[in-house]
Amino acid sequence: MAGAEVRAVRLDEPADATALIDLLDHYARDPMGGGEGLAPEVKGSLVARLCETPSYVGGLAFVQGQPVGLINCFLGFSTFAARPLLNIHDIVVRAGQRGVGIGRALLAFAEAEARRRGCCKLTLEVLAGNTVAMNAYERAGFRPYALDPAVGTATFLQKKLPAA
């Protein structure tokens, strides 16, 4: 998008930390993010916890100096390729700024970071009903994952654990 700037999140900068929390809360309040804002304890601890997480890779998108998009990624490792991978955990574009290329710019940021770090692939999850996001990811080159088409595509599962 013309006029959009994407750069790495600087967790030690108060304005970036505020933008990260604000945008992530915006996403969490969206039906595709669960429909509920971030819990106060998450808002209060997230930036510090990310600072303790060396695998964190984040990008912020700005239009006219205002933060309008966020991508949170984490390095993982592919044992089949013996190389790192980058998982896109969250991507959000503020309502009212969608459909103009900000998401595409955030995905390009993540891909550039993955290439710079020698990653073999990018991964992400998307809700089956989020057709707008699915279409955007497909345009960016993402495809369902299958080792052997005869056994089908991979399914992302989760098991929530209580806080320790």
Percent of the chain with pLDDT over 70: 98
In this predicted model, what pLDDT tens digit does every residue of 121-147 receive, in sequence order? 999 999 989 999 999 999 999 999 888
Domains held by the chain: number: 1
Task: Indicate whether 156 belongs to any domain.
Answer: no
In this predicted model, what pLDDT tens digit does every residue of 52-75 receive, in sequence order? 999 999 999 999 999 999 999 999
Q: What's the chain look like in SS3?
A: CCCEEEEECCCCCHHHHHHHHHHHHHHHHCHHHCCCCCCHHHHHHHHHHHHCCCCEEEEEEEECCEEEEEEEEEEEEECCCCEEEEEEEEEEECCCCCCCCHHHHHHHHHHHHHHHCCCCCEEECCCCCCHHHHHHHHHCCCCCCCCCHHHCCCCCCCCCCCCC
Q: Domain range for residue 133? A: 4-151
Task: Indicate whether 163 belongs to any domain.
Answer: no
Task: Indicate whether 99 belongs to any domain.
Answer: yes
Q: What is the CATH number of the domain that holds 134?
A: 3.40.630.30
